[in-house]
Homo-oligomer: A and B are copies of this chain.
Amino acid sequence: MPTLSEVAQLAGVTAATVSNVLRHRGRVGAETRQRVLDAVKTLGYRPHLAARALAEGRAPTIALMVSSIDNPFYPEFALAVERAARESGHFVIVCNTNEDPATGRAYLDQIAGTLSEGVLVTNANLDFADLHKTEARGAPVVLCMWERPQEPPGLHCVAVDFRRAGELAGAHLVELGHRRIGAIVGSKVSGIHAARYAGFVDALHAAGLDAPAARLRQAPDSVQGGYAAARELLEADPGITAIFASNDLPALGALHAAADLGREVPRDLSVTGITDIKPAREARPALTTVAVRTAEAAELAVGLLRDLLAAAPDYEGAARTAPRVLVVPEPRLVVRGSTGVAPMRE
């Protein structure tokens, strides 16, 4: 692979000039510029990104920490991140923590600040202490999809009003006449989704309904998890006419459980999710859910990271600003086939 100085030699100039031409820096004579450009072309020169990273003191990559791309949400998010990152010339290194803090720490220790200039974190079960350490070392960290805008995490973040999302789903079910509504929320490991449930409960309260613990189940963030929880709920209390799930995957599982229990959706049972991942649109019936603007969240996160990077090139010490919180525009209800008016009381 040709180097800068080879190009320089061919063009009869010095490496500095070639660099200037390529980076549109400094003033270069029109004719010289042309010679350089020609040399670049004939040699097929391409800048060596690692060398540039070293010289500039910053690598053109960002690390995206995810818990497991096994969950369809992450690829969707990653896609949006990559698109946004590319606009600022960044490549995305995907780091799968598998929900294991040690793996996450290993990733952070290795690349943050040395091979990637910033870090984006989705719910990857990382130690906040590790994230702070990473920041302290000079690599900005942005938390994505933070659940509680009102309760900043002490790190830069992009937050989604998930309480509101839960409220929208709850209100929708209430409006349809449902009175006995089961709820499935995340488990300890998949994130408890307290804000989402709180919003749901708010909606019930607003309608004078209560949300007894007997109608609440925790489940992993998966189809299977939701399936099991929904079965439990429905078997324990056949009077339940609707299920609120704090995430789409478990909601999809609830759909399956309903089918297996001989309950037709939405005639006998309504189901709602939160997020609006692709499989929600493809389910039968398609899932009514509260859409979270994933792509916008990704763009905000990348933008925030870029701001932080620009504000403080080495980002050390006092240059660090107070944690910033960006809120993703309000989630919105998407009514599809999985919800309908509550069946008549008998």
Which A residues contact B (CB, under 8 angstroms)? 1, 44, 46-51, 53-54, 59-61, 68-70, 72, 74-76, 78-79, 82-83, 91-96, 109-111, 113-115, 137-138, 223, 252, 255-256, 259, 278-279, 282, 284
- Residues of B near A252 (CB, < 8 A) are 282
Q: Give Cα A47–Cα B70 distance, bound, in whole angstroms.
A: 31
Q: Complex Cα distance A48/B69, Å?
A: 28
Q: Are A49 and B115 in contact (CB under 8 A)?
A: yes
Given A279-B279, A284-B256 in contact, is the A94-B111 Cβ separation under 8 Å?
no
> Could you list some 15 contacts between A and B, CB below 8 A?
A1-B113, A1-B114, A1-B137, A46-B137, A49-B110, A49-B115, A50-B54, A50-B59, A51-B54, A60-B115, A61-B93, A61-B115, A75-B75, A93-B93, A255-B284
Taking a contact as CB atoms under 8 Å apart, the answer to whether A69 and B78 are in contact is: yes
Measured between C-beta atoms, what is the minimum distance from A134 to chain B in Å? 11
Q: 19 other contacts beyond A70-B75, A92-B94, with CB at 8 A cut-off?
A: A1-B138, A44-B137, A46-B113, A46-B137, A47-B114, A49-B110, A50-B59, A59-B115, A60-B115, A69-B69, A70-B76, A70-B79, A82-B95, A82-B96, A91-B95, A93-B94, A94-B94, A252-B282, A255-B284
Closest CB in chain B relative to A286 CB, distance in Å: 10
Contact check: which of B46, B47, B53, B83 meets A50 at CB < 8 Å?
Answer: B53
Q: Does the CB pair B94–A78 fall under 8 Å?
A: yes
Q: Which residues of B contact A110 (CB under 8 A)?
A: 46, 49, 91
Once bound together, how far apart are the Cα atoms of A54 and B256, in whole Å?
53
Contacts of A75 in B (CB 8 A): 69-70, 72, 74-75
Nearest residue, chain B, Cβ from A259? B284
A117 to chain B, nearest CB (A): 10
